[in-house]
Amino acid sequence: MKKFFLLCLVAAACALLPSAGCCDDEGTGVSLSVFTMNLKIAAKRVKYPLSDERVEKEILHFDGGSYAIDYNESIQLFFNTAPDTKMIKNAAVSYAVERRGPRVHSFGAAGPDEDEEFASLCQQLIMSFEPQTSAKEAQKLLEQLGINGPALDGRQRQLRHGDLAYIMKLQGGNTLLLVVSGV
C-alpha cells in the first residue's frame, strides 16, 4: 500500500511540475535497458549505492510502464516508460524526510544518515542518465538544486543540464523529490 501511495505521489508530481516531460514518448532519450545498465555502473561510483544486485532483483513493475524500487523504508526510486518504446519518460527519487536519523545495523554500529543516502541515490540517478558525469559533478548539480537544506523550504528548484531537467521540491507530507525528465 505504501509503494502504491508513493507511486501515485510521484506520478502526480510529474504531472504537475512544469516541464516534467511526462507526456513526451521520447522523454529522457534513454531506454529502459540502458538506464538499468547505467544504474548498475553508477552504483560503483557513489558512496551509498543502490547495488547492482538489488537493481537486478528488486525492481517492481506496475501496469502502464511504471517501475519502483525501495532503497530503504524512507527512500524510493521510481521511473516511468513509454509503453510502446520502453524509453524512460521520467524518474524520481523520493525521500520521506520526517523519518530522519541514523540507522542502527545489526552489529550495533550507526549506519549512514538518510540525508547522505538520499544524496547518494540522487547522484546515482544523475549518473545513470549522464554516464560521463562524475560523482563530484553530480553533487555540484544537487547543491545547485538546494539538496543541503534550501530544498526543504518548499520552493521548487529546477535546472536544465543538457537535454534533461532536474527538479527538486518538498512535496506535501514532507516528501522531498528529485525528478529527472527530458526537456
From the CB of residue 150, how many other CB atoms can be counted at a distance below 10 Å?
Answer: 13
pLDDT of residue 40: 96
Secondary structure of residue 116 in the 3-state scheme: helix
Cell of 27: 522523454
Cell of 135: 560523482
Kindly report the length of the chain: 183
pLDDT of residue 99: 52
pLDDT of residue 25: 53
Name the DSSP letter for residue 154: S
User: How far apart (Å, rounded) are the C-alpha atoms in residues 106 and 151?
Assistant: 32
Question: Contact at 8 Å (CB) between 38 and 110?
Answer: no
Torsion from C-alpha of 147, 52, 78, 105, nearest 10 degrees? -60
Secondary structure, 3-state, 35-85: HHHHHHHHHCCCCCCCCHHHHHHHCEEECCCEEEEECCCCEEEEEEECCCC
Q: What does each of the 183 residues of the chain score in pLDDT, given as a tens digit?
A: 455 444 444 554 444 344 444 444 578 999 999 999 999 999 999 999 999 999 999 999 999 999 999 999 999 999 999 988 889 999 999 999 875 545 444 444 556 789 899 999 999 999 999 999 999 999 999 999 998 777 778 789 999 998 999 999 999 888 999 999 998
Name the pTM for this structure: 0.82
Name the DSSP letter for residue 153: G
